[in-house]
Every structure is written in C-alpha cells, then in structure tokens.
Structure 1
C-alpha cells in the first residue's frame, strides 16, 4: 500500500516496466459476472509461460472489505516434477493521473502443485470505483514485471530474466448476450473406466467450439489421491491467434442419492489467443474430489457402476492483443 494512512498502492517508480500490460475494459461488467477472478492470456518470460489473475472482490478475512487483488500464475505443464521456480515480481495497477504504475513487490515458490501465488491486495474496490486515476471510462490497466527467477532442480540451472517488449492484452466483458451450454456425461460403466488412467467424454459444441470432459479416475500426476476432472477443447479445433473467448466453467459430479453435488466453478479464462495449450490441457482441477469420498457407499457419486458428470459453460466476452 501507499503511505501511512493511505489505502492507495505505492508508486513503483520509473524502473517498473511490465512484462505484461493487461487492460480490463468494462470493469463494471466484470463485477456483475460475480466471478471470483479473471485470468489473462498467457505471456512468456525466461522459458516459462505465465498468467496474471485479478480478483476484483478479494477479502482479507470474513468481515474484511473487498479489495482488487492480483496474483501471478505459472503454467504447470511447462514445469518438471522436481523443479521449484522461485520468482520475485512486481504486481501493479496504472495511475493515469500520475502516468505511473503503482503496486507491490512479491515473491513465491512455484512447483507443479503450487502454481499460483497468494493474492496481493492493491486497492479497496470502492476506492477504485470512485477513482479518476485508476479507473478511466470503466477500464483499468494491470501489470506484472518478473524481476528474478531461481530454479531449484537436479540440474541447478540458472535463469536470466529476459528484457523484451511488453506484451499488451485487452479483456472485454459483455453485460448481456452470453452464450451458454450444458453437457451431461453419464457413465454406466464407471467401475470399468476406473481401471483406466484417462477417459474422455464424447465431443460437444458450445459457442462454435468443440469441447470434451477429460477425467483421470485415479488422479493425474498433479493430484493427491483425488479424481482429476477438466474441460478441454478438442485438439482438432483451429483457434484464432488474434483473439480469444472469455469463458466461465462449472464442473459437477452429481450426487445421485442425496443431491449434494460436488461442484467447482472456475474464474474467467481466455480460450484461444495464446491459450491453445491451456484449453487443450483443460480447465478444471487435479484434486476435484477425494477418491475415498467418491467411492463412499453412503454417498451418491457412484451408484452401482453409474457416475454422472455435468459441465456448464458460459462465454462472457473476448480478449485480444493490444
């Protein structure tokens, strides 16, 4: 934060040159989606793929006031199992009145099971909404600069943070005209599928794109004794490079006895425009539900050999390079 008694973020000075400059248009529309977070398209730095996540209503504690918070995320598929990537970085929001970025310095140890840093509060939400410095025409600009990377691995390789042109991205959120789709995948032979490492649903279409649900019944390599569940784009889909679609996803395993469904809702993600690999790999969770809970006879997630998965998909906007 800024000076004592101030809730505005502190200046990062002229030395702060973001690797990613991310302009979020229609900020009020982002709030209306009630999404917990929105994630940028990918940007690359020093051999790794990164994302910036904004949480517009982050609370510190149950009774705390909502803050606009940022966190840095690394793409786990580019990490080796034995690697830990220690990153030092600055998270920022642009002050149009002063023509400078303001924010904070942070660090985090990333690995395959810890892929995003904790949220860092930049400014109270209500202060941002009243501001003519940080919010202009219902838009604000966020940034991240990665200052240092150290990799702990058997090879003990050194990483030099590359200085290159700032990646510029735009996020547009609609207030109406959302495209929605629901797909239900009923598996009547789940006990047979449970013997397999990986299974996938039939392909279905939403928003002109083809999708499928991907399941690892005994967990993928990132899980902790849990079933892993993702929504993925069909890899035959050719995504446009110049733009992407902003997607919110809810995945559920239905409780067929007690109607206590296990559900997870993502934040807003960009598919296309640098997210090709991410969407083919999938949006979802490596630890969707514990295997013990999944197979508990008193529960209703697996009844006989039946298991039902539901995917609810909403396209709420678009993204492009600026």
Structure 2
C-alpha cells in the first residue's frame, strides 16, 4: 500500500487559524510544538482505495508508544457530513490490567498557506480495554479536498502533542512529559487493485483444546502475503467473556515493517445447526506488519 518513514526535522508551524463554525471544534489549545507529525502523500489515492481509516506507525512519548489514527469518512451523530477526524491510540502492550493512563493532548491539521496548526484539545482515560480515544472532527472531508491550504500537492499533515499524562498503576509511578524533537513520519500511498481470497480453518478437536491458551491456525496465503488466525477460546485480556479471533500477518512475510496494506477483512464462525455464520467485518483499513484485526 505504501511506506512510512520516521525522522526528526524542523516544524512546519506553531500557531492556530481562526476556526470555521462548520468544523465544530469545541476547543483550541495554545500554540504548541507537536510531539508527532504525520504527512500523508497522495491523499486522494488513499480515499480511492476505500479505506475508512489509516493508522500511523508508533511514536514514543513519556514512556509510552502511541499511534495517530485518521478516520476519512467520520460522521457525527445526527449529521450526514463526512469529516476527517483524528484520535490517539496507545500501544496495547503499554497497558496492562489495573493500569490506567489519563492523557491530555492536542490534535491538529496543518495550514500551509498561513504556516499554522489548526486543532483542538482533548483528553481520555486509556486502559487495557479502552485504548482508542474519541474521534475529534477537524475539517469536513469535502472542504479538505477543495482546500489549497490544508491539501498541497495532494499532501496533508496531521499532528498531535501530548500535554499531560497521569498514570494510575500498582507501582504509582509519576509520569513527566519530556519534550524532545518532533517525530515525523511520511505515508506514501500507491493505489493498486484489491486481490480477493478466503481461508477456512476447520477444527475437529475443539473440545480437546486447552481452553485457557490460544491456538494458532496453519499459515495461509492471500493477496501475495502470508497470514494466520489466532484464537482464544475463552477470550484474552481484551475480551474475557467470549471467544476471540485475531488475524495476523505471518512474521515470515516479506512485507516491510514500515509498509502498510489496505485490507478488508471478514472473520466468521459457522453455526453448524442452522448453517449461518456469525460475522464481523473490519471495513477498509490500513494494516501493517504485527498489527491485527479481531473478531469477538
């Protein structure tokens, strides 16, 4: 799908523009220096793939790894207008039971013509079952696509600054937000056609499984890449009361660690009495190596 490269460089800008009422931004933070800046090149090609959202590679801030996620067709309740919306996502591995991280942060999009960031201040309490912040609308998608300020040569820039972190854990360790040069990533989109494929995992010995541990399917190939399914019969830390399925790219796959693919994934379980499937569809999303999609 594309490549994502990390680096540190000079900032694009530091201030904010005057808000447009249509953007519905409830708050505006002070002038800020982002901890993370994410440039998406060939933005229109990303839309043409049908992807509903895209997730950056991880960046490190104050002892935690984070991702920035942009939703490309987000709609607020009661509205039919699609927005480009941002949300912050900590790494699941950073959060364990009895560990809560309350973060205050600022999400923004860059205005090239004015040399300013435009955005909103937000906060969220993350724990090992709630690791997606609320999506915050920045700009109507139609306005973004017609803009000569936010979209320059089919490229737009999103950013986040983490202002404060309060961690609640058995260790009760204080967290200090340490400022450092902005981490920068680029996502280069290459539009290609979708390749379809299916895989069926037949399990004839389900009742003989150790239900307290996960089970991995054989590796299979779809779309030129190797995949496998991991099943937790009694759920895992993130879904303790139901069977959980996860789809992974195999570690031996040649997809580069920083590359991403647009994938539409459907995981299902067959009800053998009525012949119907219990199904969950991911919609279109960007998938990178070591990321997974779950169906619970």
- With the shorter chain as reference, the TM-score category is 0.7 to 0.9
For 1:173 and 1:87, the matched residues in 2 are separated by 31
Q: Which residue of 1 aligns with 2:82?
A: 66
Deviation at 1:271, TM superposition (A): 2.0
For 1:245 and 1:5, the matched residues in 2 are separated by 35
- Between the two proteins, the alignment pairs up a number of residues equal to 277
Normalising by structure 2, we get a TM-score of 0.84
Q: Which residue of 2 aligns with 1:78?
A: 94
Alignment counterpart, residue 176 of structure 1, candidates 187, 192, 213 = 192
Is 1:122 equivalent to 2:131 in the alignment?
A: no
Aligned-partner SS, 2:243: strand
For 1:151 and 1:258, the matched residues in 2 are separated by 47
Q: Which residue of 1 aligns with 2:280?
A: 263
Q: Is the 8 A contact 2:39 2:156 kept in 1?
A: yes
Q: Which residue of 1 aligns with 2:265?
A: 250
CA RMSD of aligned residues (A): 2.5
Alignment counterpart, residue 48 of structure 2, candidates 20, 23, 32 = 32
Higher deviation after alignment, 162-171 or 192-201: 192-201
Q: Is the 8 A contact 1:50 1:72 kept in 2?
A: yes
Offset from partner CA, 1:77-117 (integer Å, 9 cap, x none): 12121110010100010000111111000000000000010
For 2:252 and 2:260, the matched residues in 1 are separated by 17
Offset from partner CA, 1:182-222 (integer Å, 9 cap, x none): 32222222232373521000012346543211110110122
Alignment counterpart, residue 284 of structure 1, candidates 278, 288, 293 = 293
- The structure-2 alpha-carbon separation of the partners of 1:152 and 1:254, relative to structure 1 and needing over 3 Å to count, comes to closer
- The structure-2 alpha-carbon separation of the partners of 1:186 and 1:62, relative to structure 1 and needing over 3 Å to count, comes to farther
Normalising by structure 1, we get a TM-score of 0.77
Q: Which residue of 1 aligns with 2:231?
A: 215
For 1:63 and 1:5, the matched residues in 2 are separated by 14
Deviation at 1:28, TM superposition (A): 1.7
Deviation at 1:150, TM superposition (A): 0.7
Q: Is the 8 A contact 1:11 1:101 kept in 2?
A: no
Q: Which has the higher contact order (CA 8 A, sep 6+)?
A: 2
| Structure 1 residue ranges without an equivalent (≥5) | 273-278, 290-322
For 1:226 and 1:262, the matched residues in 2 are separated by 14
- The structure-2 alpha-carbon separation of the partners of 1:31 and 1:4, relative to structure 1 and needing over 3 Å to count, comes to closer
Q: Which residue of 2 aligns with 1:190?
A: 206
Q: Is the 8 A contact 1:40 1:270 kept in 2?
A: no
Q: Is the 8 A contact 2:51 2:262 kept in 1?
A: no
Q: Is the 8 A contact 1:92 1:143 kept in 2?
A: yes
Q: Is the 8 A contact 1:70 1:121 kept in 2?
A: yes
- The structure-2 alpha-carbon separation of the partners of 1:43 and 1:180, relative to structure 1 and needing over 3 Å to count, comes to farther
